[in-house]
Amino acid sequence: MDNSHTRRGQPCWFRVLKVGLIAVNDGVLLRNHICRILKNHFRGKPYYVDLLDLFNEVEFQTASGQMIDLITTLEGEKDLSKYSLSQHRRIVQYKTAYYSFYLPVACALVMSGENLDNHVDVKNILVDMGIYFQVQDDYLDCFGDPETIGKIGTDIEDFKCSWLVVKALEICNEEQKNVLYENYGKPDPVNVAEVKALYDELNLKGVFAEYESKSYEKLITSIEAHPSKAVQAVLKSFLAKIYKRQK
């Protein structure tokens, strides 16, 4: 959907010779196997229905986030004025945070016989962690080494509602804003270079470093406020895996 070339250091599946749009059906098959795997392992468990319901709900949230992401970048409707931090948060909360961070912990809670309604505080921490993770992803898309991150970033070319462009719009002057409007969302390497030069001019690396530090402190404070030491340990282990990551 992003028209990308690589993922996880490999060519995108739809770009492989003789695959093409067959990749769509492959995706349907893979998605179908979620239910089959859950049925195979958990059919006799008292939490089986809750587990199925959890996967279905998170899949709906993820697909909704992807839809919001895609319809904000429609060709012919490119309008940077609609990009804001609140819009970015809405996209990444649904597109990334729920499936990447909340789902694994929610599965463990359901399988332990817990009611998820009693763990809203844990959910909120994991969603915030997922948003922080996606902001890192936006940063690495532009400034990361493709060899290290396993993909060639295309957020600028694809007119994505990236954290970087949202922050740039927030702090730039009118002249700099015109540079963004003239160059953002165009595939020509010259236009991409103009946007990256503006990011450097605005010191977005420094802005991100400050954001990362403050996000970490906020997350640690929220985690340590949780009454369970065991839950704290799990959440801190998640955070340790992603803090200052390079890929």
pLDDT in tens, 170-218: 999 999 999 999 999 999 999 999 999 999 999 999 999 999 999 999 9
Whole-number average pLDDT of the chain: 94
**Please, are residues 4 and 25 in contact by the beta-carbon 8 Å criterion?**
no
- Which residue spans of the chain are classified as CATH 1.10.600.10? 44-242
pLDDT value for 2: 79
Q: Sort 182 into a burial class: Cβ within 10 Å, 0-12 / 13-18 / 19+.
A: exposed
Structure tokens at 179: 């540079």
pLDDT value for 79: 87
pLDDT at 88 over 80: yes
Q: Identify the band that residue 73 occupies on the pLDDT scale cut at 50, 70 and 90.
A: confident
Q: What whole-number percentage of the chain has pLDDT above 90?
A: 86
pLDDT value for 147: 84
pLDDT value for 145: 87
Q: Rg of the Cα trace of the chain?
A: 20
pLDDT (tens digit per residue) in 138-173: 999 999 988 888 888 889 998 999 999 999 999 999
**Please, are residues 235 and 125 in contact by the beta-carbon 8 Å criterion?**
yes
Q: Which fold has domain 44-242?
A: Farnesyl Diphosphate Synthase (1.10.600)
Q: Identify the band that residue 105 occupies on the pLDDT scale cut at 50, 70 and 90.
A: very high
